[in-house]
Amino acid sequence: MLKYNSIREKLRSFFMEIGELSFFTFRFFKESLKPPFEFKELLHQCYNMGNRSLLLVGLTGFIIGLVLTLQTRPTLMEFGAVSWMPSMVGISIVREIGPIITALVCAGRIGSGLGAELGSMRVTEQIDAMEVSGTNPFKFLVVTRVVAVTLMLPLLVIFGDTLALLGSYLVENVKGNVSFTLYFNQVFNSLEFGDIIPATIKSFFFGLAIGLVGCFKGYYCKKGTVGVGKAANSAVVFTSLLLFIIDFIAVFVTDIFYDL
Amino acid sequence: MITTSNISDHKTIVLKIKNLYKSFGDNNVLNGFNLELYQGENLVIMGKSGSGKSVMIKCLVGLMEADSGSISVMQNDITTLDRESLDILRADIGFLFQGSALYDSMTVRENLEFPLRRHTKKLGDNINTEELVIEALENVGLVSAIDLMPSELSGGMKRRVALARTLILRPKIILYDEPTSGLDPITAKEIIILMQDIQKAYGTSSLIITHDVDCARVISDRMILLIDGVDYAVGTFKTLSASADPKIKAFFKQ
């Protein structure tokens, strides 16, 4: 009975949180359309989230491209299909691996940062101080950060994809003596707008999810400094889960369009 | 309620709380609290930790919603105001937070400039932000800290900068939430003197929440003792400290 009650309580709080997050999302869209707009803070956040994630995203992408090529090469050689390597890597990076890996890396870096930053501002009454000074803290803190991460993520994905393809080319060049032009010609010949556009649209939604969940967890942080740690942690866990759900929906919808 | 003073006669009320109730689940924090703050007065509210002082002050600026009761600030019932009107009214209410609440990611200058972004109308179109910031910092004796980050300031300096940020909008009422808590006695005394100087220079009315008896003795014109969620006793420091009521006496035993 006790176990049943505990499961019921956990389910209840989970659905309560989903409801609160939905309300938070609705408020975000409402506030983001209302002037005054905080352009200066938006640019500052774009710089913070975009520029400062470049190294991490680039390095991750480069290693993923390198490893993917190294791991796949022996299998393709067995089937005598090693010439298909650039096409295979290109499509898998652009369609799926690039966006999801970049989003997961950003969920860790940006999502947890947002949860911790807004959480500590909440527990040290800085958000209350903004409210009391007549500034709308939701607009200044949440709207700018969510918009910044939504805009920056697709750019980071493109950057990550490029580095991943360069990593893959490096392996092909060393192992198979493939030239830069030949490799990238083959990559771009196999790619279509139908690969690039859905991946870019998907990246916007990934960015939106990272921003919304990170800000939601931080903005409503409770229970002092312990709460700040929990906010940062749960922002990453919840966002990662949400990213896979969005990815599944995106692939499902894209598939419908392919069939048409 | 015990009333031991007529200091309030014939003065303008700038802030009035009537029958304020607030509870969190089964915990009734405020049970019909009343308060009247007069023009130019320093009113101290004392109460034990967890007695609802901070809850009351947060209800007063609209950071928390009361269950029932009315809160009138300069003839505006804040419980019925929309967000826009409340924000305009907030420019007339300064709030000094217990932990200073300076914005970590901004310098002292940016901290002081922040409230000006929204309230330029109040100060006129031709305001010089730089002059206002320097004037506010001069009033608290910290011009030299203008480009420092909050992390580079001591506790006392943070409290002064927070006070300067409160003053920059020239408020008519200042709410102090435990202004001397966490400070050493010397710095606490400096903050109290600063509060008195500000009151003289700006003619503000102040509502001070504290459990520092020394602070109350020096600064209060009138005091309210918040016990069991109600305004248990109202009077001057002298009359209340001489009271024979054991609940009141407990506050002044040191």
Could you report the per-residue pLDDT of B19-63, keeping only the tens digit for each? Answer: 999 998 888 889 999 999 999 899 999 988 888 888 999 999 888
pLDDT for residue B124 is more than 70: no
A48 touching B (Cβ < 8 Å)? no
The answer to whether the CB atoms of A128 and B90 lie below 8 A apart is no
How much is the pTM?
0.86
Quick one: pLDDT at residue B196? Answer: 87
Sign of CA dihedral A173, A179, A185, A186: negative
Angle in degrees, 0-180, between the axes of helices B185-202 and B155-167, rounded to the nearest 10: 10
- Tell me whether residues B63 and A130 touch, CB distance under 8 A: no
Residue pair A156/A53 in contact (Cβ under 8 Å)? The answer is yes
What is the predicted pLDDT for the residue at A209? Answer: 95
The answer on pLDDT for B7 being more than 60 is no
Interface test with B, best of A47, A48, A132, A136 (most B CBs within 10 A): A132
Helix/strand number for chain B, H first, E second: 10, 11
Q: How far is CA A124 from CA A141, B97, B148, B209, in A?
A: 15, 9, 19, 18
Q: Is the pLDDT of residue B5 over 60?
A: no
**Given a cut of 60, is residue B8 above it in pLDDT?**
no
Closest by alpha carbon to B70, among B86, B83, B59, B55?
A: B59
B104 interaction partners in chain A (CB closer than 8 Å): 120-121, 124, 126
Helices (H) and strands (E) in chain A, counts: 12, 0
Chain B nearest-CA distance from A117, in A, is: 10
Predicted confidence (pLDDT) at residue B184 exceeds the cutoff of 80: yes
Chain A hits for B98, CB-CB cut-off 8 Å, are 125
Positive or negative, the Cα torsion across B16, B21, B24, B28? positive
**How far off is chain B from A75, nearest CA to CA, in Å?**
52
What is the model's pLDDT at position B2?
52
Decide if A225 touches B, using CB distance below 8 A: no
Query: What pLDDT is attached to residue B19?
Result: 92
**Which two tokens mark B16?**
């009035």
At B185 the pLDDT is: 85
A182 to chain B, any CB pair closer than 8 A? The answer is no
* Chain A neighbors of B102, CB-CB under 8 A: 126, 129
Interchain CB contact of A126 with B (< 8 Å): yes
pLDDT score at A143? 95
User: Considering only alpha carbons, which residue of chain B is nearest residue A140?
Assistant: B114
- Picking from B210, B204, B221, B199, the residue whose alpha carbon sits closest to that of residue B176 is B210
The helix (run of H) or strand (run of E) holding residue A249 is: helix A224-259
Q: What is the dihedral of CA B178, B182, B188, B191, to 10 degrees?
A: -60
Query: Residue type at A201?
Result: I
Select the more confidently predicted residue: B253 or A178.
A178
Residues of chain B in contact with residue A120, where contact means CB-CB under 8 angstroms, are: 104
Q: Which residues of chain A have pLDDT under 50?
A: none
Closest CA to A73 of A82, A64, A65: A82
Of these ranges, A28-37, A55-64, B91-100, B196-205, the one predicted with the greatest mean pLDDT is A55-64
B3 contacts B235 by C-beta, under 8 angstroms: yes
Quick check: helix, strand or coil at residue A36?
A: coil
CB contact under 8 A, A128 and B63: yes
Q: Tell me, what's the pLDDT at A28?
A: 94
Distance CA A96, CA A101 (A): 8
Whether B61 and chain A come into contact, CB under 8 Å, resolves to yes
For the beta carbon of residue A31, count every other beta carbon within 10 angstroms. Answer: 15
Question: Which chain A residues are within 8 Å of B119, Cβ to Cβ?
Answer: 133-134
| A192–chain B Cβ distance below 8 A for any pair | no
The partner residue sitting opposite A124, judged by closest CB among B88, B90, B101, is B101
Give the model confidence (pLDDT) of B135-167 as tens digits: 889 888 889 989 999 999 988 899 999 989 998
